[in-house]
Structure formats: C-alpha cells, structure tokens
Amino acid sequence: MGDIDFRLMIPSWAGVALVGLQYWYALVPAVLALGAVAAFGRTLPTALRYAAGIAAGLIAAPYALLLVVVATDAVGQARQAAQDRARHRTLDADETVGTLRLPAGAVLAYADETHRTVSSVALPRPTRVAGILLKGALEPVTEREWAGELAQDQAIGDWPCQAGELWFTPQGAATRCTLAASHRLAGYELPAGAVSRHDPASGGWEFQLPQSGAAVSIAALGADLPPGGTLTLAADGALRRLYVPHESRMTIAGVALYDHVIVDATGLTAELAEPTPIAGALQPAATVVHVDLATGRIETAIRPSVLDP
C-alpha cells in the first residue's frame, strides 16, 4: 500500500479544484476581479481585457467541472431513488400477494416497474406468514415455494424445524429445514441436525445427515448410512438412492461401497470403495458394480448416467 501514488488516481482538474476549494477566499475574489476587468474595463487595452477574461476562465474552470460532476451525481442518485421507489411497495394492510398472505408493513421488491414479479419481501418484524413465525426477508424459490428464516425452533406440521433457513409453501408446509430433534419417517430414524427436503411436485424426500452424529439404519439393505450421507425416498417412502461420502464406507452384502447408491427392483448399483475381487478378478476402487440383494451376486456393470457428476 505504501508504494501506491494516490495522486495518479485523482484527475488533474479535480486536484486543481480541490486546491481551489482550499484557497477559495483568495481565488474567488480574483475570479470576480478579473471577470470585472474583462467585462467592464472598456477603457483598458483589448489585449489586457482578453487576458483577464482568459485568466478568470482558467481559474473558474475546475470549479465548473466540479459542479457538473456534483450535479450529474445528484441527478443519477435521484433517478436511482425513483427507480427503487417504483420497484418497491409497502403494504398498508394485510394483503394476499399471489398465494401468500403478508402482513401490513411488509416491503415488496419487484423485478421491474410492472410489479408483475415479486423478487423479495422484507418483513417489518418477526411475524407469522402461512402460520409460521418468520423474520427478515422472504424470497420465492419455485412457483410453489418460498425461502425465509425461521425465527425460532418450531414444529411445522409434524416436522420439528430448527431456527434458521426454511423453505415453505403458502399453505404452511415445510419443504426444507434442519431438524431440531430426531424424527421418524417411513421407518427411518432421522437425527437432529439432518437437513430435510420435501419436493412438493413429486412428493419425494431427501435427508442429508449431519457430519457428526449417529449413522442411520437402512434395514432393507442390512447396512448403516454413515454420518454426512444422504437418503432419498419416493413419495410412498420407498428407498430410491443413497449418497455415501468418499471418506466413508457403506458395507452392503459384504462389499464396501461409496458415492451414489442407486436402488432398483432387483438390487442396487454403486461404486466400489476399495479394490474387491469379483468373479475371480480384482476390481479397482470406483468400479461400478450391481449387487443382487436376493442372491448376493455381485457383478461389474455399465456406469449409469445418474452416477456421473
């Protein structure tokens, strides 16, 4: 920082203007005097009058440029303020915007001056929206969901949600939150701290386990999903897929697996977490295999696109 010459960052005329502002008490009278000589000194030589006028102009020029900059900035700020006002609206009373009931005092920010699309809502205070105590700003996520901040731990439906980030529907259902307490769903005991996601379109569920905590038993596979893993269920609770972090292992049918584990009608497809002998040949880690859960048969498989990053 000591090697930066800040003088190079300031236009020369601005530097002159700043000096002029500092010594205005001497320069302003000089401009007035020289201007008076140029305008009214008819008895003086023409060359002298011209010289006085030029000198007055040179002294006054930086001031004029500075005034232009200040005026331009003021106009720009006024225009920006007008645009901001045109894109915002404060509710005078409780009002339903789209399908979301909002309280008086909420400030709506729109994408443009047409007020067709709400980009965010600033709540005036912690207040209940769709029956949920929220605070701060709300933002639309999808046509069916909003994102906000849960003001305190709260049960939403039968979901024990932790204060903080929350996705919800205008009907008051939580679609994404962090569990404040353990919760049982479709036979799975989900721990506190798990990030839960419910897709209102498909009805499916996804749960990401906290990095620290207990594993979750997956009875259908006779194995445990380790901390940090992800469990995905269909709307009816059927197991669809798992994600096992690379630093972990999930042993199913005697085989150590990691990354995405895709469950199908006959078994599952996944990647080997370590070199493993299959059909008399040692297969390296990351080899894609299919495990038949009924027979225990393991064979190499074609890599499905769902395993690709």
At 256-290, the pLDDT tens digits run: 999 999 998 889 999 999 999 998 899 999 999 99
Tokens of 274: 């370590």
What span, in angstroms and rounded, lies between the C-alpha atoms of 186 and 235? 10
Closest CA to 145 of 121, 167, 161: 167
Please compute the mean of the pLDDT values over residues 179-206 and round it to a whole number: 93
Give the start-to-end residue ranges of the domains of the chain: 6-86, 127-307
- Spell out the alpha helix ranges (H) of the chain: 12-22, 24-40, 46-86
Helix (H, G, I), strand (E, B) or coil at 43: coil
Averaged pLDDT for residues 104-114: 89
Q: What is the dihedral of CA 283, 285, 286, 290, to 10 degrees?
A: 50
CA 185 to CA 194: how far, in whole Å? 13
> What is the value of pTM for the model shown?
0.69
In the chain, the largest separation of any two C-alpha atoms, in whole Å, equals: 118
Q: How far are the Cα atoms of 30, 42, 144, 224, 258 from residue 37, in angstroms, in the given order?
A: 11, 8, 76, 96, 91
* Per-residue model confidence as pLDDT tens digits over 193-227: 999 999 988 999 999 999 988 899 999 899 999 99
Say what the pLDDT of residue 37 is: 61
* Band of pLDDT at residue 55, cut at 50, 70 and 90: low
Q: Which residues are within 8 A (CB) of 210 and not within 5 positions of it... i.e. 6 or more apart?
A: 191, 192, 193, 194, 227, 228
Place 54 in a pLDDT band, splitting at 50, 70 and 90: confident
Among 107-121, 181-195, 291-305, the range of highest mean pLDDT? 181-195
* Residue 170, burial from CB neighbour count under 10 angstroms (0-12, 13-18, 19+): middle
Strand intervals (E) in 162-254: 164-168, 174-178, 183-185, 188-190, 195-198, 205-208, 216-218, 223-225, 230-233, 239-244, 250-252
pLDDT of residue 38: 59
Q: What is the chain's mean pLDDT, rounded?
A: 83
Closest CA to 267 of 279, 276, 283, 255: 255
- Paired with 231 in beta bridges are 207, 242
CA distance 149 to 176: 11
Q: Are strands 230-233 and 216-218 parallel, antiparallel or unpaired?
A: unpaired
Is the Cα dihedral 222, 228, 229, 233 positive or negative?
positive
Token reading at 220: 């259908």
